[in-house]
Chains A and B, each alone.
Chain A
Amino acid sequence: MTSDQQQDTRIWYGELTTRSALRRRGLLQVSPGLFWILIFLTVPALALIALSFATRGGYGEIEWIFTFENFTRLAGYGMFGWSPDYLIILARSLWVAFVTTTICTALAFPLSFFIASKPKTTRYVWLTLVIIPFWTNLVIRTYAWQLVLSPDLPIAKFAAALGLIPEGSPLYPSEFAVYLGMISAFLPFVVLPLYSSVEKLDWSLVEAAFDLYSNRRRVFMQAILPQTLPGLSVGAILTFVPAMGMFLIPDFLGGAKYMLVGNLIQQQFGKSRDWPFGAAVSLALMVLTLVGLFVFRRKGEKMEVI
């Protein structure tokens, strides 16, 4: 045996083998899945970046002429001077996603504690009640809100009686309807991970905090919140990312006046056939999402240190 081979030999899970043999075996197992994601997601996502500097040809084809035009257009500079339309859409998307995440989190806490307080035998029934809407198709759930907000039903009638909307008209499309749809769509995304944190909660810390005369706010901030932070941040991310790119809910419940960035991208890849501009908007959405994720993470860390 040469010294070269000796170096290559190693024990892996009780088996005498060579490093290169291991690597071959590992690559064989990893490569189908990895290539799949690479070819259909990672590389195209990078192509999206390149595309955002290209130009749309007269028939919707792509011309590889390097330009910043897509970004100046997104910033509002067009043929007829400056208009903030696209910037408003971006800011609105960020705001809607942020508010949705915050409200979902606020509602998820009581629900998680409620489920965790149930005896083990009935707990899974309550959990199932959260999972069912979570697994129900979003198209169905969003359409269901259209139905609930339609003019003949109590909610719209009540709003009409208060003079908020004209008699006999539905409560959608409206900002209010978009929020209803968003919150109900994403609530389970926060409840399920948060619940798994709450279930593991060490209550002796909570008792100790009360024993040391902490008020309820401090007990929550210092004994409960830090322990539930892992579940909470997973829930916040699972809500914030899809909420940023949401296109179905504003489409059904927001109408043309309450467009979000998802609708804008869909338009560019669909009807308008302006892929370079669509790519630029996608890039902006991606950047905003990453910034948002960063903020949530930072906020999480800070809370832990309080």
Chain B
Amino acid sequence: MQAQRKPILVPAVALGTLAFLYIPLMAVASFSVNDSRFGLAWQGFTWKWYLELFRNEQILEAVGNTLLLGLVSTVIATVVGTALAIGMSRFPWSKKTSAFFEFNLYMPVITPEIVFAGALVIAFASLRYFSSAFEPGMLNMIIGHVTFQVAFVALVVRSRLAAFNNEIEEASHDLYATNWYTLRKVILPMLTPGIVSGAMLAFTLSLDDFIISFFTAGPTSVTLPLYIYAEVHRGITPKIHALSTVGLLVTIVLVITSQKISNSFSEKERDDA
């Protein structure tokens, strides 16, 4: 009986695939505590590369820039993207208008990032005719990040909107609630899980972005990925192992936190139901 053969192949391939994903990450982490300035031969355990990070002003500045960029762009994109999603799904748009919305929403998804980056370079060059504020730098980076984040937030929130039924909303109107009241007390609370996961996605997209930042950054707005990129081009150093490991740890914390948040939402929903 073929069907009842104990499956070995699938778990073996699966575990091998996971190992494939983790080998490079573990290599970076283990070399970050290796007491050797050059080469990778094991010279003993040390924290000194981490201490070096905290004394390095360029790195601290890059961390600051990364967080500023991520937080500001995420806040803007979450507000604008949520409004876009609600506006799109809660009004009787004509087929043509909806198709136009859809097209714009999927633009960032189907455009290869490098083409998007080229388009941004053109947009900012044109805007510089009107204002010098669009010189490469933090403002341009924030605008660039918001552009792709808005679409993703809107897509996430919209899928959430599609999932719940209109009756609660109708009931709210039947009970003479104003639109604003319904939005605040009915729609937004129901949407919160969608908005939170949209925002988390937007924030990680911002932290993860390299190409858009690379094309829009100025000399004073270097982010961590840009810093690591420049350093790697100068040659592998233990400082970069340590910096990458910190990046990895931050990612792990972020992933677990967001999982906890979304789990607590789904539990709450079960309780409500």
Contact = CB atoms under 8 A, between A and B. Distances in A.
Interface in A146-183: 146-148, 150, 152-153, 183
A82 to B, nearest CB: 26
Nearest to A37: B104
A29 B154 CA distance: 12
Interface in B173-194: 173-174, 179
Contacts of A12: 91-92
A22 interface: yes
Interface residues of A, number: 89
B259 A124 contact: yes
Contact of B146 (A36, A111, A113, A137): A36
Interface residues of B, number: 95
Interface string A124-154: 1000111111011111110111111010110
A140 B112 contact: no
Interface in A33-75: 33-34, 36-45, 47-48, 51
A180 to B, nearest CB: 8
A225 interface: no
B114 A133 contact: no
Interface in B70-121: 80-81, 83-84, 86-88, 90-93, 101, 103-105, 107-121
Contacts of A131: 255, 259
B20 interface: yes
B267 interface: no
B17 interface: yes
Contacts of B163: none
Given A40-B147, A41-B108, A41-B119, A140 B247 contact: yes
Contacts of A44: 119-120, 122-123, 126
A229 B92 CA distance: 31
B130 interface: no
A286 B204 contact: no
Contacts of B51: none
Interface stretch (A1-9, A84-92, A241-249, A298-306): A241-249
Contact of A129 (B11, B18, B80, B105): B18
Contact of B119 (A45, A124, A216): A45
A261 B113 CA distance: 12
Contact of A33 (B10, B83, B103, B120): B83
A133 B263 CA distance: 20
Given A136-B25, A282-B115, A41 B147 contact: yes
B50 to A, nearest CB: 16
Contacts of A279: 118, 122
Contacts of A266: 114, 117, 214
Contacts of B40: 147, 150, 152-153
A278 interface: yes
A265 B115 contact: yes
A187 B23 CA distance: 14
Contacts of B123: 39-41, 43-44, 47
B171 A14 contact: yes
Nearest to B154: A33
B196 to A, nearest CB: 16
Interface string A83-116: 0000000000000000000000001001101110
A271 interface: no
A113 B86 contact: no
B254 interface: yes
A279 B144 CA distance: 18
Interface of A: 12-15, 19, 22-23, 25-30, 32-34, 36-45, 47-48, 51, 107, 110-111, 113-115, 117, 124, 128-133, 135-141, 143-148, 150, 152-153, 183-184, 187-188, 210, 215-216, 237, 241-242, 244-248, 252, 261-262, 265-266, 269, 275, 278-279, 282, 285-286, 289-290, 293
Interface of B: 2-3, 9-11, 13-15, 17-18, 20-25, 27-28, 31, 39-41, 80-81, 83-84, 86-88, 90-93, 101, 103-105, 107-123, 126, 143-144, 146-148, 150-151, 154, 166, 169-171, 173-174, 179, 204, 207-208, 210-211, 214-215, 224-225, 228-229, 232, 236, 240-241, 244, 247-248, 251-252, 254-256, 259, 263
12 contacts: A13-B170, A15-B173, A26-B88, A26-B91, A34-B84, A43-B123, A47-B126, A107-B13, A237-B110, A241-B109, A261-B114, A286-B111
Q: Give the top 4 A-B pairs by smallest Cβ distance, nearest first.
A: A245-B112, A29-B87, A33-B84, A144-B24
